[in-house]
Chain A
Amino acid sequence: MTLAIEVTDLHKSYADFEAVKGVDLDVNDGEIFAFLGPNGAGKTTTIEILEGFRTATAGSVKVLGQDPATAPLSWKEEIGIVLQESEVEPELTPREAIRMYAAYYQAPRPVDEVIEIVGLQAKADDRIGKLSGGQKRRVDLALALIGDPKLVFLDEPTTGFDPSARRDSWEMIENLRALGRTVLLTTHYMDEAQQLADRIAVIAAGKIVARGTAKELGEQVKAIPRISWIGTTADGLSVPFVQEGERLVVEAEEQDVIGVVRAITGWATDTGIDLPGFEVIRPSLEDTYLRLVAE
């Protein structure tokens, strides 16, 4: 399989701090790859090096076979960029803006087709200044797609969106998969990465701390189920417990969960104590991610 993006030992230093500390990244042709991390982890710095806006301090970067720092303008025919923060002339309508950007490319997609892909048919002739945040983001994506790129960069495509606007955006990004495009997206939402991406790399403090499919990531951090109920004492309980707020909590290895539950319910029956709010919780991928970046 050919690689759309190939990054080896990427470093980026600013005057007094190192934002990226040796990142390796392989993105296959046609896959949706999520670059996941908290704010300030180095996501935007890395993606802007890949887009050609910043230059690397050290390391090798190949995007569609070229080093973005030295690639000719024609290289940009094949990439589409949605920046984290950028506006479009508010005086124009989406259709006009898309037509203007179409003129920048040698082989653009038809304007109407792009409007349809991003679902802007109903708003195509309204002024962009009057659109909602989510609708403006659709215009951003349309401008990134008009050149019919092989590779699309999406820098935090849903940050600041309400849940329904996020769902809509996810649908739109899923549509890109149907078009067979390679997508590199950054996000600080685990559920977003999980929902959209074939593979995920987690970055924290300038380094990649985990990578793989969503499922593989879940397995990399040991998931410890937690059994808890509302109570204050548990004298005579045979398993170790801790008090957390109003709840008593027992942590159990996955294979021991049934045994631990049996021990607790047996103890409750023997002593005649109730177990109000009893629950067994397995950590979500979100919890897994939070643990990863906290380490």
Chain B
Amino acid sequence: MSWLSQLRTQGSFDLLTFRRNPAATFFTVVLPLIFLFLFTSIFGNEEINGVRVANFYVPGILALSIISATMVNMAITTTTRREQGVLKRVRGTPLRPWVFVGGQVLASLAIAVVMTVLVVLVGWLVFDVQLQSSGVPSLIISLIIGTAAFCALGLALTTIIPSVNAAPAFTNAIALPLYFVSDIFIITEDTPSFISTIGNLFPIKHLGQALTESFNPFIEGTPMPWGHWAVIIGWGVFGAAVTATRFRWTPWGT
């Protein structure tokens, strides 16, 4: 089998295991939608200058969805597979290691794409959120860059997670506080400056802001948030470097 069809097979089986894992599907697919409904209920969805407030929640929820589908999902699944000996078994076969990882990345991308479509559709149908056609190119670019970078960061995280039980705790302990400082859950003008400085250091806020630009109806022309993308790519390269040097295929401590 050529590596291309191996990649496709691996990706489709990874999607299948994801779909059959109730915890993973709940946290990745259902929870972001629940948040979207909650936020718009709590903070309201009034129209200001012809734009619904939800226009500014949807990009945050989208960032949350993409990060769940990639970093969180990748870190937990890969740690579990490593500790269960799945990765070791795969290393005993002639499959190229990068094809195995690539299949997982493809599956994550597919989930992220589905979530993007879902969130945009729900936003449009239920909350009257408008996505201008001029925002679509940057949305697609953010989605691809975000998926690649946060997959790499998810793999990098596995290098410090020692066990299956620790995987959700580690991942959430890192992601949750960052969501709060990254304008994902709470969007306000008067964020203390040290909070916004911390947020600026990490890639989550930049993904949220890049996506916000795609949904911002006041931007003239086609938004291209180069600065935010650069930071996300930088973190992605860091994640890939950590993965390349420290990733292990055998259970922790063997």
Q: Do A and B bind each other?
A: yes
Chain A positions within 8 Å of B, measured between CB atoms, are: 51-53, 73-77, 79, 81, 83, 85-89, 91-92, 96, 100-101, 103-106, 127, 143, 147
Chain B positions within 8 Å of A, measured between CB atoms, are: 1, 5-6, 9-10, 13, 16-17, 20-21, 81, 84-86, 88-96, 250
Q: Which residues of A contact B91 (CB under 8 A)?
A: 53
Given contacts A73-B94, A76-B94, A103-B5, contact A86 B84 (CB under 8 A): yes
- CB pair B17 A89 closer than 8 Å: yes
- CB pair B88 A83 closer than 8 Å: yes
With both beta carbons as reference points, the residue of chain B lying nearest to A51 in the complex is identified as B92
Given contacts A96-B13, A100-B10, contact A105 B86 (CB under 8 A): no
- CB pair A86 B9 closer than 8 Å: no
Q: Which residues of A contact B85 (CB under 8 A)?
A: 83, 85-87
Q: Which residues of A contact B250 (CB under 8 A)?
A: 53
Assembled-state Cα–Cα distance A101/B13 (Å): 10
Instruction: Pick the contact of B1: A73, A86, A92, A106 (CB < 8 A).
Output: A106
Assembled-state Cα–Cα distance A52/B92 (Å): 8
Q: What is the distance, in angstroms, from B129's C-beta to the closest C-beta of chain A?
A: 34
Given contacts A51-B92, A86-B86, A101-B93, contact A91 B20 (CB under 8 A): yes
- CB pair A100 B92 closer than 8 Å: no
Q: Which residues of B contact A106 (CB under 8 A)?
A: 1, 94
Given contacts A86-B89, A87-B85, A106-B1, contact A100 B94 (CB under 8 A): no
Can you name 8 extra interface pairs (CB under 8 A) apart from A86-B89, A88-B89?
A: A76-B93, A83-B85, A86-B88, A91-B16, A100-B10, A103-B1, A104-B6, A106-B94
The 4 closest A-B pairs by CB, nearest first: A86-B85, A91-B20, A87-B84, A81-B92
Q: Which residues of A contact B96 (CB under 8 A)?
A: 73
Given contacts A53-B250, A100-B13, A104-B6, contact A87 B86 (CB under 8 A): yes
- CB pair A92 B17 closer than 8 Å: yes
Please list 5 pairs of residues, one from A and one from B, whose beta carbons are closer than 8 Å in the complex, sorted by A's number: A51-B92, A91-B21, A104-B1, A105-B94, A106-B94
- CB pair A83 B13 closer than 8 Å: no
Q: What is the distance, in angstroms, from A286's C-beta to the closest C-beta of chain B?
A: 30
- CB pair B86 A103 closer than 8 Å: no
Assembled-state Cα–Cα distance A76/B95 (Å): 9
Of B5, B6, B21, B85, the most chain A CB neighbours within 10 A belong to B85
Q: What is the distance, in angstroms, from B78's C-beta to the closest C-beta of chain A?
A: 12
- CB pair B86 A88 closer than 8 Å: yes
Assembled-state Cα–Cα distance A2/B135 (Å): 67
Q: Which residues of A contact B10 (CB under 8 A)?
A: 100, 103
Instruction: Pick the contact of B93: A85, A87, A88, A104 (CB < 8 A).
Output: A104
Q: What is the distance, in angstroms, from B205's C-beta to the closest C-beta of chain A?
A: 34
Given contacts A96-B13, A104-B95, contact A53 B21 (CB under 8 A): no
- CB pair A147 B13 closer than 8 Å: no
Q: Which residues of A contact B9 (CB under 8 A)?
A: 100, 103
Assembled-state Cα–Cα distance A236/B81 (Å): 70
Q: Which residues of B contact A53 (CB under 8 A)?
A: 88, 91-92, 250
With both beta carbons as reference points, the residue of chain B lying nearest to A52 in the complex is identified as B92
With both beta carbons as reference points, the residue of chain B lying nearest to A129 in the complex is identified as B20
Q: What is the distance, in angstroms, from A110's C-beta to the closest C-beta of chain B?
A: 14
Of B1, B85, B93, the most chain A CB neighbours within 10 A belong to B93
- CB pair B16 A96 closer than 8 Å: yes
With both beta carbons as reference points, the residue of chain B lying nearest to A92 in the complex is identified as B17
Q: What is the distance, in angstroms, from B23's C-beta to the closest C-beta of chain A?
A: 11
Q: Which residues of A contact B92 (CB under 8 A)?
A: 51-53, 76, 79, 81, 83
Assembled-state Cα–Cα distance A105/B93 (Å): 8
Instruction: Pick the contact of B86: A51, A75, A76, A89 (CB < 8 A).
Output: A89
